[in-house]
């Protein structure tokens, strides 16, 4: 008998479990979800790759600090409801985050298995597992306490504190998080949304092929069941003001109105026919279902050659949408290189697989029109990369005199957003920072006005769904503490 003490058998190098996707030639013909999700066997295989670290670093990479080891541990035991319960304690929209979070720079970026992918097979696919758990759990739910289970993971929710009213302005990810959290504690929440549908960027921005509307509807319906009231067509600052909400008996107000105002480039020809902001283009298609025109009434502008300006996720969404609407050639026009693009790697790869063309190291100088002022081409300035700038990315510099022309009849501008002034102008005493966003305490989310909280893009500028949810969660915890005291 060997005297060597028993050691844990080293994990074999099992590669990440692939997720089935619609093949590119098929998916650009439809608007259905591209990534199809894990089967039960896939999820088991992937969960078993997690080595359950003593000190898991993945958790530090998650903006809402999900107990990742915990939920995957439950999954390893085959306990989906158990895994869901862990997830839900940290994240109100797991089926959304599992789909749209940039995991490679967050949880998965910190996974120890990702440090040496040749030996380990790469980081655990945390996002895909989160999605599997949330989808599977939702599919198994039926009637009864379903809503309460979905939101809190508990079989029955606490009694309602009828006298404790909280209002959220805006119905995007941050407000939904606040509403879900507080409602699960029995607090009465009313959400005021300016558009006719609830979900913010989840319904007007992110396309169906990345995040099916059904998923958002499911989460929102669960909140309704819990007693959250959604008032659509109510514009914060116009139909209702923060002061009126307090006058009406609200104990706290959460502002989560996003940074919806699109930025333009201020180059000649920007108002020509065929030039759109990505917000308009995506809102028409996603919220207005213009991909199904004339069955739906909202029209969309179509063209054979399309240029999308920008390198973020919004640009990817717009480019892939244009392809699905029948464009023959779609180009992403970006002033740096592929390596500096802020878009998720997976989205960029999907876009390239689908045939999106990259026009790198160039910036638009002019949007040229034909004699009817319809867009015909774009003149771009060729660039080269110089020294790193404040963001750490190498600064693009124009190559003097080196320009070229790209033919296009549709240009979609996706170069970022600015804070929407409607609510800010209507709220006296609300302190803003230099960039025009709301100043909020990073610990509590409270603004310069007592018991008025804010979070998401209207505080940080355009960021991610999960960071908006993280902000919502912090604010909700603080509101609960103030309203319920020790009970929270």
Partner 1 sequence: MNYRILEKKVLIPGQTTLLVIDAPHVAKKAKPGNFVILRTSEKGERIPLTIADCDPDAGTVTIVFLVVGKSTAELNTFEEGQALHDFCGPLGRPTHIEKQGTVICVGGGTGVAAMHHIAKGHAAMGNHVVAIVGARNKDLLLFCNELGNFCPEVLIATDDGSQGHHGFVTEVLKQRLEEDKDVSEVVAIGPVPMMEAVSKVTKPFGVKTTVSLNAIMVDGIGMCGACRCTVGGETKFACVDGPEFDGHKVDFGELRLRLSQFRSQEQESMQLFQHKCHCGEGK
In sequence order, what E strands does 184-321 have? Answer: 187-192, 229-231, 250-255, 261-262, 275-277, 305-309
296 binds partner 1 (CB under 8 A): yes
Tell me the C-alpha distance between 432 and 417, whole Å.
16
Under DSSP, is residue 281 helix (H, G, I), strand (E, B) or coil?
helix
> How many of the chain's residues bind partner 1 (CB under 8 A)?
41
CB-CB contact of 414 with 256 (8 Å):
no
User: How many C-beta atoms surround the C-beta of residue 75 within 10 A?
Assistant: 26
Binder among 31, 71, 84, 276 for partner 1 (CB under 8 A): 276
CB nearer to partner 1: pick between 241 and 337:
241
Residue placing its CB nearer to partner 1 in the complex, 362 or 408: 408
Least separation in angstroms between CB 239 and partner 1: 5
Q: In the 8-state DSSP scheme, what is residue 92?
A: S
Q: Does position 297 bind partner 1 by CB under 8 A?
A: yes
How is residue 468 written in tokens?
């908006």
Neighbours of 201 (CB within 10 A): 23
Nearer to partner 1, 127 or 173 (CB): 173
**Positions in 209-238 near partner 1 (CB under 8 A):** 232-235, 238
CA atoms of 283 and 87, how far apart (whole Å): 31
- Do 352 and 332 meet the contact criterion of CB atoms below 8 Å apart? no
Task: State the nearest-atom distance from the C-beta of 420 to partner 1, in Å.
Answer: 5
Of 194, 199, 189, 195, which is closest to residue 238 (Cα–Cα)?
194
Query: Quick check: 298 binds partner 1 (CB under 8 A)?
Result: yes
Choose, by CB under 8 A, the member of 47, 126, 194, 315 that binds partner 1.
194
Give 286 or 313: the residue with its C-beta nearer to partner 1. Answer: 286
259 close to 437: Cβ distance less than 8 angstroms? yes
- Interface with partner 1, residue 385, by CB under 8 A: no
Q: Within 13 Å of residue 357, how many CA atoms lie on the same side as its CB?
A: 11
Residue 215: phi and psi, rounded to 5, are: -65, -45
Shortest separation between residue 142's beta carbon and partner 1, angstroms? 26
With binding defined as CB under 8 A, does residue 105 bind partner 1?
A: no
Q: By CB under 8 A, tell whether 288 contacts partner 1.
A: yes
Q: Return the range that interacts with partner 1 (CB under 8 A); candidates 63-71, 73-81, 255-263, 477-485.
A: 255-263
Considering only residues 37 to 96 of the shown chain, the ones binding partner 1 according to CB under 8 A are none
| Under rule CB under 8 A, residue 301 binds partner 1 | yes
Task: Give contact residues for partner 1 (rule: CB under 8 A).
Answer: 194-196, 204, 232-235, 238-240, 260-262, 264, 266, 270-271, 273, 276-277, 279-280, 283-284, 288-289, 293-301, 372-373, 420-422
């Amino acid at each position: 008998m060997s005297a060597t003490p028993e050691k844990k058998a080293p994990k074999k190098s099992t590669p990440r479990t692939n997720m089935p996707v619609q093949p590119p030639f098929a998916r650009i013909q439809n608007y259905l979800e591209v990534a199809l999700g894990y089967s039960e066997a896939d999820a088991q295989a992937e969960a078993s790759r997690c080595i359950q670290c003593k000190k898991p670093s993945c958790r530090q990479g998650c903006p809402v600090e999900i107990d990742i080891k915990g939920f995957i541990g439950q999954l390893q035991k085959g306990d989906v409801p158990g895994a869901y319960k862990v997830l839900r304690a940290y994240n109100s929209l797991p089926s959304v985050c599992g789909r749209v979070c940039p995991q490679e720079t967050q949880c998965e970026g910190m996974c120890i298995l990702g440090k040496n992918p040749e030996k380990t097979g790469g980081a655990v696919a945390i996002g895909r597992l989160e999605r599997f758990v949330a989808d599977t759990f939702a599919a198994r739910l039926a009637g009864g306490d379903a809503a309460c289970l979905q939101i809190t993971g508990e079989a029955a929710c606490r009694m309602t504190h009828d006298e404790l009213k909280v209002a959220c302005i805006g119905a995007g990810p941050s407000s939904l998080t606040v509403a879900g959290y507080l409602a699960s504690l029995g607090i009465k929440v009313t959400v005021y949304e300016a558009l006719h549908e609830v979900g913010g960027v989840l319904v007007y921005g992110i396309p169906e092929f990345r995040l099916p509307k059904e998923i958002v509807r499911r989460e929102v319906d669960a909140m309704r069941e819990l007693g959250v009231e959604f008032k659509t067509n109510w514009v914060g600052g116009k139909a209702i003001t923060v002061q009126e909400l307090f006058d009406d008996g609200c104990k706290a107000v959460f502002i989560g109105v996003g940074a919806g105002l699109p930025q333009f480039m201020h180059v000649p020809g920007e108002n020509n026919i065929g030039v759109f902001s990505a917000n308009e283009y995506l809102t028409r298609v996603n919220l207005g279902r213009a991909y199904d025109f004339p069955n739906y009434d909202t029209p969309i502008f179509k063209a054979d050659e399309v240029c999308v300006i920008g390198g973020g996720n919004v640009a990817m969404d717009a480019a892939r949408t244009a392809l699905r609407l029948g464009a023959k050639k779609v180009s992403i026009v970006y002033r740096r290189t592929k390596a500096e693009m802020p878009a998720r790697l997976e989205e960029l790869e999907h876009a390239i697989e689908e045939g999106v063309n990259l026009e790198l190291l160039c910036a638009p100088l002019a949007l040229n029109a034909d004699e009817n002022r319809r867009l015909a081409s774009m003149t771009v300035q060729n660039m080269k990369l110089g020294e790193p700038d404040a963001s750490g990315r190498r600064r693009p510099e124009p190559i003097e005199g080196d320009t070229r022309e790209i033919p296009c009849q549709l240009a979609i501008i996706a170069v970022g957003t600015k804070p929407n002034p409607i609510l800010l102008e209507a709220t006296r005493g609300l302190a803003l920072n230099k960039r025009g966003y709301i100043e909020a305490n990073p610990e509590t989310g409270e603004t310069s006005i007592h018991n008025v909280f804010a979070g998401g893009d209207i505080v940080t500028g355009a960021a991610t769904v999960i960071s908006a949810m993280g902000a919502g969660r912090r604010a909700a915890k603080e509101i609960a503490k103030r309203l319920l005291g020790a009970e929270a």
